[in-house]
A and B are shown apart, each in its own frame.
Chain A
Amino acid sequence: MKTKLTLAALLASSTLAGAAMADVTLTIESWRNDDLTLWQDKIIPAFEAANPGIKVKFTPSAPAEYNAVLNSKLEAGSAGDLITCRPFDASLALYEAGHLADLSGLDAMSNFSDVAKSAWQTDDGSASFCVPMASVIHGFIYNKDAFAELGIDVPTTEAEFFAALEAIKADGTYIPMAMGTNDQWEAATMGYNNIGPNYWKGEEGRLALIAGEQKLTDEAWVAPYATLAKWGAYLGDGYEAQTYPDSQNLFTLGRAAIYPAGSWEISGFNAQADFEMGAFKPPVQNAGDTCYISDHTDIGIGMNAKTENAEAAQTFLAWVASPEFASIFGNALPGFFPLSNTPVEMTDPLAAEFVSWRGECESTIRSTYQILSRGTPNLENETWGASVAAIKGTASPEELGQKLQDGLASWYAPHQ
């Protein structure tokens, strides 16, 4: 009787295990719906070939809705096994609520520098909950043909930058710069946080702001708004109602000469534009100044703490941390630069241009992302509105700085 039972149990467990081995399907939650084909055609097949028995499904949602959708799914217990992580507090909150598993024990985490991991760690650095995947670099993409036609050199200082804009505007063939303020975030992300690091000296200013040693009313934090205020004249008619896709299309159709960019645009632009593109980094104030770039940790991937396929999910995460993934990802998605310690050779010239700045300039991340957007009002969202107001000229840079500082000081102790 006893043997029979054991036998049955063995049988049952082996069939169960067999079924599990054959049937493990991992679902990935992501906001990168632009990358759907890339995952389906390149990344997932490469992983499945190396790991038979594990199937992967990439199920992205719209970027603007991702956080809300993901939070609801996690609360309801219907989220996928792997979660693409937004940097900093959004993911930290998920970890603290017990939705993301602690990955500190994963061997492959040693492939990343502390800076790379910082976006997905607890404040004291004791636990890491997402494997860093990629960063994006800010700068300006320009239409090389247009620059050649008008005889404009690539600007390196701010004076040259505005001289170039003025020359394009005077000629009239092209809209000098393609950016709108309708969706608001471009003004902050591609405006303020693009040119800003040169003013507040990258990490130095950012960390001082977090420590409370600098204020948003300081010259270094207000000056970028004064510069943005000068952009308005070069953005083309009706920029107030111009959306983000409008700007992308204006540039790729060849109607605008300069596009304030994040490197994530590269693959889309390569597919759309039929002219040659180049990139230049945010102009410095005086020739020879140290340059600072925003090299922003943008995507990580973590594991749903309640997944039933923890083992398979960890296999996938270890693979994501490997140089093999970095190479596939970095080259398939030019503009998303892998964060792993092994450098990846970029084949795309535009992406290579962007990543080369890492050698020339000091890297930093967006000023509002770490810690400072924890309270209400939310500093990042406030910065969107402030950058738009600066460009439209509806408020003076000093007023904007004061408003942001008041908002931050209302909840953030080091500023009180």
Chain B
Amino acid sequence: MQKPRIRWHIAVFLAPAVLVYSAIMIFPLFNTLRLALYSKVDQERIFVGLQNFKTLFMDPIWSEQFWNALGNNFWFFIIHMLVQNPIGIALAAILSHPRLRFAALYRSAIFIPTILSFVIVGFAWKLILSPIWGIAPSMLDAVGLKSLFAPWLGKEEYALTTLALISVWQFVGIPMMLIYAALLSIPEEILEAGEIDGITGASAFWKIKLPLILPSIGIISILTFVGNFNAFDLIYAAQGALAGPDFSTDILGTFMYRTFFGFQLQLGDPHMGSAIAGAMFAIILVGVCIYLWGIQTRMRRYQL
């Protein structure tokens, strides 16, 4: 019986990725979680256990902000799931239609906003929707619908939905591309076999293509979830750190930023900020776990 050789090459080849990932992802993550267990009293950092989390969830001032941000975050996510992903799937289905002309042009045009910076998107849309200089009011005026215009970004009841739709506009290219790739990978033979059995057109999409792209839709949903609960940039670029009007667009990311770094006269509190970051991490972790064990393992896969 030969003693099994230690396979050094595995460790050697893994080392760079493991080291880099540990240094810039794992260590900061755990250090942030550790920071959340401390507090600063008289210039002295002291260990306070779960006190910060208790303040965050129990103190009326903090918990009101936290639940407000969490609720807004869910609304932000729901809009993405209801608008971005169905539109992405529909666009992909249309693009993969063999008789569509200029498919490459549409594909690029729809994907381009994805590569734009948040700052540009936030600024451009703020200008488009501006009641003073924007083209939105004059375009609505041109078709006689001026009465429908409102300063959406400045109204508590519309601002968050408006921003969510701007984000959808920016990122609809990603589900489109992923689904498009999945659709292209469906072998012709299956579709032809379906045709012989009399399944054509729309029913081919619902009965053959959709079940085959379901795993991709699952991946897109979880990417949307993680992306939305980590979101910060667009809100910050468009509405500032106070996420106005009256915190109606405040999501966990902006709440964390404001607390961690401070804002105007409010001084930063890295410890409370870390506690919020910890809560965000927990929420995302739970969401991803539900998906991995609750949905992905039960999803039916087809061998193509």
Contacts and interface: CB of A to CB of B under 8 A. Distances in A.
Contacts of A68: 261-263, 268
Interface in A208-246: 236-243, 246
Interface in B136-176: 137, 150-156
23 contacts: A67-B261, A67-B267, A68-B261, A68-B262, A89-B267, A181-B154, A181-B245, A183-B240, A238-B150, A238-B154, A239-B154, A241-B151, A241-B153, A242-B132, A242-B154, A243-B126, A246-B130, A246-B132, A376-B266, A377-B61, A378-B265, A392-B245, A410-B61
Interface string A365-398: 0001100010011101100110011001010000
Interface string B114-146: 000000000000100111110001000000000
B88 interface: no
A140 to B, nearest CB: 20
B264 A388 contact: no
A373 B130 contact: no
Contacts of A388: 244-246
B264 A185 contact: yes
A236 B130 CA distance: 13
A308 interface: no
Contacts of B261: 67-68, 71-72
B110 interface: no
Nearest to B126: A243
A74 B240 CA distance: 23
Which of A90, A238, A373 is packed against the most chain B CB atoms within 10 Å?
A: A238
A170 interface: no
Interface residues of A, number: 44
Contacts of A236: 132
A239 B266 contact: no
Contacts of B133: 246
Contacts, number: 111
B245 A373 contact: no
Contacts of B152: 241
Contacts of A96: 43
Contacts of B267: 67, 89-90, 93
Given A184-B244, A250-B132, A388-B244, A241 B265 contact: no
Interface string B259-276: 001111111100000000
Contacts of A122: none
B43 A241 contact: no
B154 A378 contact: no
Nearest to B259: A376
Contacts of B129: 241
> In the complex, which of the residues B129, B132, B240, B267 has the most CB atoms of chain A within 10 Å of its own CB atom?
B132
B75 interface: no
Given A238-B131, A238-B132, A250-B132, A67 B263 contact: yes
A244 B62 CA distance: 29
Interface residues of B, number: 33
Interface of B: 43, 61-62, 126, 129-133, 137, 150-156, 239-242, 244-247, 261-268
A49 interface: no
A64 B240 contact: yes
Given A67-B263, A392-B245, 11 more contacts: A64-B241, A68-B261, A71-B262, A89-B267, A180-B154, A183-B240, A238-B154, A240-B151, A242-B131, A380-B265, A381-B266
A68 B150 CA distance: 34
A339 B112 CA distance: 53
Nearest to B149: A238
A122 to B, nearest CB: 14
Contacts of B150: 238
Task: Select the residue from A241, A378, A380, A388 with max chain B CB neighbours within 10 A.
Answer: A241
B242 A384 contact: yes
A155 interface: no
Q: Which of B126, B247, B262, B266 has the most CB of A within 10 A?
A: B266
A363 to B, nearest CB: 20
Contacts of B43: 96-98
Contact of B153 (A182, A376, A385): A182
Contacts of B137: 238
A243 B239 CA distance: 10
Interface centre among B62, B129, B137, B244 (most CB of A within 10 A): B244
Contacts of A378: 264-266
Closest 4 A-B residue pairs measured CB to CB? A238-B131, A240-B154, A241-B154, A241-B151
